[in-house]
Structure 1
């Protein structure tokens, strides 16, 4: 894991991607639920050293992010921006058109069109199907990941195939913040439950993208690189996996690959 040198901002470690680029291990998530805060995004970029933003066409905030990125004055080449297309955009020409439209809304020339490509919510069965139908292996797989949902078999599968595993919902949509074990560990380390969850995820080698629209929460979520959770405590958190989904369960989804 390398550290990106960004004068004037906190340094966030990065990990290499098979495309030849590097992705920051901590990013800022956005979504179609829970609102959007221009101030929070600008603060994350200007004050917290965040250089990784996750969004999607479906979230409806790509144009809003363009304004925030412009106001932050962070250079495009210093940013890792992820957006996701909708299933209706399948097919080469439709996908290319949708990607160009996302670039226009975000105010960027590339995401890449396309520097790195990935998938979201793909389980082993879906990745195996993709392997049969496509030539290029995804560079990233973005999947729900938190103490209650730790799909280690999938993580191991991705690592063997040089696919970066990226975890969303690291706080289990708040459910993890009230768990007695996590609260106890937070007290032990003098941290917040959110910081324990995020640090645990990063220590497990997961690119982690917590979401918040509150400046103070973003500040809190970013202060996770000046402490380490002991291995025995990591194992305690690892043992909390119960298969719970707080987003949605893609287990029974069949993906149709059109090429």
Structure 2
């Protein structure tokens, strides 16, 4: 796996395994075992995924099996929106306890708004600030190796950058050919923030798109591989999720082919501002 050096010097694999909706010990074991076997070294979870404890337990069991140790893997988790503000430190510590880790490699604010409050609630900026300060404290003590945010807009990022002591290293957002957030990507590049994409396949809707399917045929690759490679060639990290060992293997085979520039442009030209997940633009 190729990696990216974050703005604080931490190395993060460009390809990670997403675990959204992967729940239960047996399901997590099957998925992580296949992922480790096929070279994945980065694993993305979150408090709201309700699988942190199983991910932590399974990794402890599987790492020796694959001849690996904790330092060989990169573990990411995220602060639940319900814990924004005064409850942020406790929320962070719950993730550490559930994953049974002395430290996490990356910890993200999952959403810019507080759960149970309206998107337009004027308290959101203050709660975000409290959460970030709590995370900065755990970063300073070595419990988090890097900090970042998820689902932040450029406005949310500018607000954070104006006040933070520890600069966010990663922004994780929905990004695929139907949602080419080029302005946000440019801002992240200018600010030294690595952009990591989730929902690279458009929750599965993009694999049958004619342009994607046609390119997959011409390159002798799967549609998923084409979509993931499109992101990687822009310097964007990806965290594809699958519960099928064969697809997990395929989704890691991204570094032995290259999309031609005209094909990159054809995929980017599919942009229609279509979101398959959450839209954070309305959160003040």
Q: Could you tell me the TM-score, scaled by structure 2's length?
A: 0.81
Counterparts of 2:162 and 2:255, CA distance in 1:
39
Per the TM alignment, residue 90 of structure 1 is displaced from its structure 2 partner at its CA by 2.6
The secondary structure found in structure 2 opposite 1:159 is helix
Note the 1:147-186 alignment, pairs <5 A. 147-186=177-216
Counterparts of 2:89 and 2:150, CA distance in 1:
18
Alignment match, 1:131: 161
Counterparts of 2:56 and 2:269, CA distance in 1:
40
Residue 52 (structure 2) pairs with residue 58 (structure 1): no
The secondary structure found in structure 2 opposite 1:37 is helix
Structure 1 alignment gaps of length 5 or more: 1-11, 255-259
Per the TM alignment, residue 223 of structure 1 is displaced from its structure 2 partner at its CA by 1.1
Structure 2 alignment gaps of length 5 or more: 106-142
CA contact (8 A) 1:32 1:58 kept: no
The secondary structure found in structure 2 opposite 1:176 is coil
Q: Could you tell me the TM-score, scaled by structure 1's length?
A: 0.89
CA contact (8 A) 1:51 1:78 kept: yes
Note the 1:1-259 alignment, pairs <5 A. 12-32=1-21, 36-45=27-36, 47-73=37-63, 74-91=68-85, 94-112=87-105, 113-254=143-284
Per the TM alignment, residue 33 of structure 1 is displaced from its structure 2 partner at its CA by 7.0
Q: Deviations over 1:94-145 (max 9, x none)?
A: 3222222211211210015211000000111111121233232211000001
Counterparts of 2:195 and 2:235, CA distance in 1:
8
Counterparts of 1:147 and 1:209, CA distance in 2:
16
Alignment match, 2:133: none
C-alpha RMSD over aligned residues: 1.5
Counterparts of 2:250 and 2:21, CA distance in 1:
22
Aligned residues: 241
The secondary structure found in structure 1 opposite 2:255 is coil
